[in-house]
Chains A and B, each alone.
Chain A
């Protein structure tokens, strides 16, 4: 089966050279890397804002760029939505007119009546329709920009650090909307970010860029639990992602019990219904390792596993990351090189991961 997005591009811009290729089937593909790594250049190639010197872009089976065959579909015929870092709303139009702008150019075959309501509902912007863009807050602008791109009925949605210019509170306000968009709208998303927290929360597929090249590409949970990808594993917020389901609540203790591939997990109570799917993030720095099962300990989660890989120390620092295989699920633990040596950890060692319930994050 061919991928939803397939890109390879070579492009030189002054001293910067992009030479990147990836293919993804994910609902939300994150392009992750430091600033200047070529993330934005790459999605500009996908959108048609940049014509690469050489390359090939295929979206959902449709060839957009093929420099060898001389194909270059101009941006307005690609039906690829783009949410820019700065919302770029049209200042001379109202919010409503901004939202409906793409409809003039979208094919008229589909039902045109209901989508506006769906989008208003999804993004919670119904009350802003008659405002001018200049009067909106940063978060509101960005939600209108997302709605505007969606209403142009794109086959693919590109988002270039849509949260970068917002404060923490505004980010928290928009993230749930992007999650609902990912899970309920059926439009694949390519999302540019340099924030591990955002990627961990949103991405199903992860593409890591460094100096214009793709260094890694794969499912987010798999890459996040590898100890040998320094940009992820040596970051302070490194950690594994585990897909879980809510098993039951224990109101008397204020706990929620999750079912995960590595066994039941007890976390601080969340207001999610039983049976709901949930993504859990366990930071590497919150995981302790023990060679024997511990019973008289305050931490509620003690999970058996085997060491599958040990990363190197970061420079001359004390810490390193260890990847555990817990019944098929990957877990990342950060410990000092000294502890790893004292415990004689090596790939294949049987260990117990100790995780405090209160430190488990559900992003």
Chain B
């Protein structure tokens, strides 16, 4: 396979997989928490939180990337704290690419999980309570397993979004081969150079293959989970 792809193309594929997987896994727990809050919580500012979460979905990705650059850049208010206190630098690093992808995929993840939590019959949670389960155990043994199909769907959506993320990533962390050049950035670069067509086509095919594989994996997982659940 490495004969077929140039080392630079191969690096872009690997980097994209790492970035997308990191983005998906890192946003899972906060995504669950926010989805649960939006589905079940009753608090002041709920619609504000909802709007904030959905902002990356409706804003131009370049705007999101630029805001990330302002906030998380080395001189940005958050970036400076992270650098001074934890030695974490995000700008122009692959971790920054993962952050940009996570922010862009977050609304899709939260939406899918939130809908599946809202669809759960709360009477089942009441029943678990009368059997002695406290709120945390009810969530872990009833809410979470019943929301699993939605969680899987959200994860796949988030992963797919991260694989394809371009605008916010290139604005925030630029297009550095080996560090921040993900699949879409690499394809874009190849289309800008003479004789890059063949390489762009190879990466395009790989991109399609990864997307289809992710979709099939989610179908398979959903079916495995669905076997335990009543037919909806």
**Chain A residues at the B interface, C-beta cutoff of 8 Å:** 47-49, 74-82, 84, 86, 88, 90-92, 101-102, 104-106, 132-134, 148-149, 152
Selected interface stretch from B34-42, B81-89, B131-139: B131-139
**Contact: B132 with A79, CB < 8 Å?**
yes
Given A76-B129, A152-B131, 13 more contacts at CB 8 Å? Answer: A48-B129, A49-B130, A75-B129, A81-B131, A84-B123, A91-B228, A91-B230, A92-B228, A101-B133, A105-B137, A132-B228, A134-B230, A152-B132
B230 cross-chain contacts in A, Cβ below 8 A: 91, 132-134
Chain B residue at minimum C-beta to C-beta distance from A47? B130
Minimum distance in angstroms from A352 CB to a CB of chain B: 51
Minimum distance in angstroms from A158 CB to a CB of chain B: 8
**In this assembly, does B127 line the interface, its C-beta being within 8 Å of a C-beta of chain A?**
yes
**Contact: B131 with A149, CB < 8 Å?**
yes
**Contact: A105 with B131, CB < 8 Å?**
yes
Q: Can you list 5 A-B pairs with a CB-CB distance of less than 8 A?
A: A48-B129, A74-B134, A81-B131, A101-B131, A105-B132
Chain B residue at minimum C-beta to C-beta distance from A106? B132
**In this assembly, does B142 line the interface, its C-beta being within 8 Å of a C-beta of chain A?**
yes
Closest 8 CB pairs of A and B: A105-B132, A102-B131, A82-B130, A134-B230, A88-B127, A75-B129, A152-B131, A92-B145
Alpha-carbon gap, A149 to B184, bound state (A): 56
Alpha-carbon gap, A148 to B131, bound state (A): 8
**Chain B residues at the A interface, C-beta cutoff of 8 Å:** 123-124, 126-135, 137-138, 141-142, 145-146, 228-231
**Contact: B228 with A90, CB < 8 Å?**
no
Given A88-B124, A101-B141, A105-B137, decide whether A76 and B228 contact each other with a Cβ distance below 8 A: no
B145 cross-chain contacts in A, Cβ below 8 A: 92
Alpha-carbon gap, A255 to B135, bound state (A): 58
Alpha-carbon gap, A106 to B145, bound state (A): 22
Given A49-B126, A84-B123, A101-B141, decide whether A92 and B131 contact each other with a Cβ distance below 8 A: no
A78 cross-chain contacts in B, Cβ below 8 A: 130
Given A84-B123, A101-B141, decide whether A92 and B229 contact each other with a Cβ distance below 8 A: yes
Instruction: Tell which of B124, B132, B135 touches A102, judged by Cβ atoms closer than 8 Å.
Output: B132
Alpha-carbon gap, A74 to B124, bound state (A): 17
**Contact: A82 with B229, CB < 8 Å?**
no
Chain B residue at minimum C-beta to C-beta distance from A94? B228
How many A-B pairs fall under 8 Å by CB?
74
**Contact: A88 with B142, CB < 8 Å?**
no
Alpha-carbon gap, A104 to B141, bound state (A): 11
Minimum distance in angstroms from B74 CB to a CB of chain A: 47
**Contact: A149 with B130, CB < 8 Å?**
yes
Alpha-carbon gap, A342 to B91, bound state (A): 104
Minimum distance in angstroms from B35 CB to a CB of chain A: 19
A152 cross-chain contacts in B, Cβ below 8 A: 130-132
B142 cross-chain contacts in A, Cβ below 8 A: 90
Alpha-carbon gap, A48 to B124, bound state (A): 15
Minimum distance in angstroms from A135 CB to a CB of chain B: 9
**Contact: B130 with A101, CB < 8 Å?**
no
Given A88-B123, A91-B229, decide whether A105 and B133 contact each other with a Cβ distance below 8 A: yes
Minimum distance in angstroms from A78 CB to a CB of chain B: 8
A132 cross-chain contacts in B, Cβ below 8 A: 228, 230
Chain A residue at minimum C-beta to C-beta distance from B121? A88
Alpha-carbon gap, A300 to B129, bound state (A): 54
**Contact: A92 with B134, CB < 8 Å?**
no
Chain B residue at minimum C-beta to C-beta distance from A80? B130
B134 cross-chain contacts in A, Cβ below 8 A: 74, 76-77, 105
B146 cross-chain contacts in A, Cβ below 8 A: 91-92
Alpha-carbon gap, A163 to B62, bound state (A): 61
A80 cross-chain contacts in B, Cβ below 8 A: 130
B124 cross-chain contacts in A, Cβ below 8 A: 88, 90-91
Chain A residue at minimum C-beta to C-beta distance from B134? A76
Minimum distance in angstroms from B224 CB to a CB of chain A: 12
A84 cross-chain contacts in B, Cβ below 8 A: 123, 127
B229 cross-chain contacts in A, Cβ below 8 A: 91-92
**Contact: A76 with B141, CB < 8 Å?**
no
B130 cross-chain contacts in A, Cβ below 8 A: 47-49, 75-76, 78, 80-82, 149, 152
Minimum distance in angstroms from A173 CB to a CB of chain B: 22
Alpha-carbon gap, A13 to B129, bound state (A): 22
B141 cross-chain contacts in A, Cβ below 8 A: 101
A105 cross-chain contacts in B, Cβ below 8 A: 131-134, 137
Max chain B CB contacts within 10 Å: which of A81, A86, A90, A133?
Answer: A90
